[in-house]
């Protein structure tokens, strides 16, 4: 599968696990880990397990909803910020073929 195909984007779908591409599943997992860590940091040990589960489930529902609306949501969420934040200097965008 092509990662960002401009032709027939609906015909080529990414591999998913429980409804999310692997990259977005990792984002939901990080939200779950954050739900485990924050109660420990703020000394609420009773909320460790429920916080992690709720963090993962809420992130998973949010990401599945947006992924169904826009199949390219994972690239918009993860790749675009890396492009714009990769350099500190000015960036010149030109049209194709012109110099």
What residue numbers bound the domain in which 42 lies? 20-79
Residue 31 lies in a domain: yes
Crossing angle of helices 22-41 and 48-69, in 10° steps, is 150
Query: Domain total for the chain?
Result: 1
The pLDDT mean for the chain works out to 81
Residue 91 lies in a domain: no
Say if CB 61 and CB 53 are below 8 A apart: no
Mean pLDDT of 21-49: 92
Q: What is the spatial distance between Cα 15 and Cα 55, in angstroms, rounded to a whole number?
A: 23
Residue 15 lies in a domain: no
pLDDT tens digit string along 41-60?
Answer: 999 989 999 999 999 999 99
Which are the contacts of 36, defined by CB distance < 8 A and separation ≥ 6? 48, 49, 51, 52, 55
Q: Give the sign of the dihedral formed by CA 22, CA 24, CA 28, CA 30.
A: positive
């Amino acid at each position: 599968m092509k990662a960002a195909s401009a032709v027939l984007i609906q015909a080529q779908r990414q591999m998913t696990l429980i409804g999310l591409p692997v990259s977005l599943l990792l984002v939901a997992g990080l939200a779950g880990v954050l739900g485990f860590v924050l109660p420990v940091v703020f000394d609420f040990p009773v909320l460790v397990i429920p916080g992690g589960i709720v963090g993962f489930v809420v992130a998973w529902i949010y990401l599945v909803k947006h992924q169904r609306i826009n199949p390219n949501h994972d690239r918009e969420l993860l790749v675009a910020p890396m492009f714009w934040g990769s350099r500190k200097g000015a960036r010149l965008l030109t049209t194709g073929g012109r110099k």
